[in-house]
């Protein structure tokens, strides 16, 4: 009975990788400047299109997905007390949004080598005592594609005349379905929920 019960339990247990849902695969990473008082900012301006960055080039697009993504970010910032203004109206914060599509390739090379086999079945078992095993060289190629979304918040309020803007907050959305419009509101809400400090003093 114990053995049968253990078998039933193990057969019902989810495999961490093979049984993972698309939602469970998504990761939301946020970073912020701990020296910044986010309640000191009152206004923001957001880009009018989304930068699409790949291994080969970078373009700007405004697809239906992009428009919904921008609208969701605006809604969350507004709900946290920030007021949207035109980029020419001296906003306190600038918000950049990017879709990143990268393909990575890794090539490994294992040089051939002579070696005495460390296990029990040495070459003498096969009738070749005193010999070694030879492993010929080989190459291995690994390639994977990843789509992600980056939201970057820049401080315009205290920008200095040094041709440099400082990023005060960043969110990275990674995993299966991040470029699916149906997931936008859930994903954007998630990064704002884990950034409780990101609100005005009036909120």
Tens digits of residue pLDDT in 143-155: 667 889 999 999 9
27 — alpha (psi -120 to 50), left (phi > 0) or beta? beta
Split at pLDDT 50, 70, 90, the class of 116 is low
pLDDT for residue 4 is more than 80: no
On whether the CB atoms of residues 69 and 61 are closer than 8 A, the answer is: no
pLDDT for position 8: 46
Most confident of 5-9, 134-138, 190-194: 190-194
- What is the C-alpha separation between 55 and 104, in angstroms, rounded? 9
Return the pLDDT at 103. Answer: 78
Backbone angles phi, psi at 72, to 5 degrees: -70, -40
**Residue 176: both structure tokens together:** 């299966």
Q: What is the pLDDT of residue 104?
A: 75
Q: Right CATH number for 31-116+129-203 from 3.30.70.890, 1.10.10.10, 3.40.50.2300, 3.30.160.670?
A: 3.30.160.670
Q: How confident is the model over 118-132, as pLDDT tens digits?
A: 555 566 666 667 666
**Predicted pLDDT of residue 81:** 96
> What is the Cα 70 distance to its own chain's centre?
18
Residue with more model confidence, 136 or 1: 136
Question: What's the CA gap between 106 and 51, in Å, rounded?
Answer: 26
pTM of the model: 0.72
| CB within 8 Å of 74: residues ≥ 6 apart | 46, 84
pLDDT value for 164: 73
Residue 89 has pLDDT above 90, yes or no: yes
Domain borders along the chain are 31-116+129-203
Cβ atoms of residues 38 and 195 within 8 Å: no
**Mean local confidence (pLDDT), 110-122:** 57
User: Does residue 134 sit in helix, strand or coil?
Assistant: strand
Q: Over 80: is that where the pLDDT of 52 sits?
A: yes
Note the pLDDT of residue 58: 86
Q: Percent of the chain beyond pLDDT 70?
A: 69
């Amino acid at each position: 009975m114990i053995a049968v019960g253990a078998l039933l339990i193990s057969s019902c247990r989810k495999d961490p990788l093979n049984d993972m849902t698309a939602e469970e695969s998504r990761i939301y990473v946020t970073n912020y400047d701990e020296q910044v008082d986010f309640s000191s900012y009152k206004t923001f301006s957001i880009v009018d299109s989304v930068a699409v960055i790949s291994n080969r080039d970078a373009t700007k697009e405004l697809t239906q997905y992009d428009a919904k993504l921008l609208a969701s970010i605006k809604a969350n910032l507004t709900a946290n007390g920030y007021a949207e203004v035109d980029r020419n109206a001296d906003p306190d914060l600038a918000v950049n949004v990017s879709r990143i599509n990268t393909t990575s390739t890794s090539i490994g090379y294992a040089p051939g080598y002579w070696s005495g086999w460390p296990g029990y079945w040495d070459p003498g078992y096969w009738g070749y005592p005193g010999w070694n095993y030879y492993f010929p060289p080989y190459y291995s190629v690994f390639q994977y594609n990843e789509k992600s979304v980056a939201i970057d918040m820049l401080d315009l309020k205290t920008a200095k005349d040094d041709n440099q803007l400082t990023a005060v907050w960043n969110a990275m959305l990674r995993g299966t379905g991040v470029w699916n419009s149906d997931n936008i509101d859930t994903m954007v809400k998630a990064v704002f929920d884990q950034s409780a400090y990101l609100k005005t003093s009036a909120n």
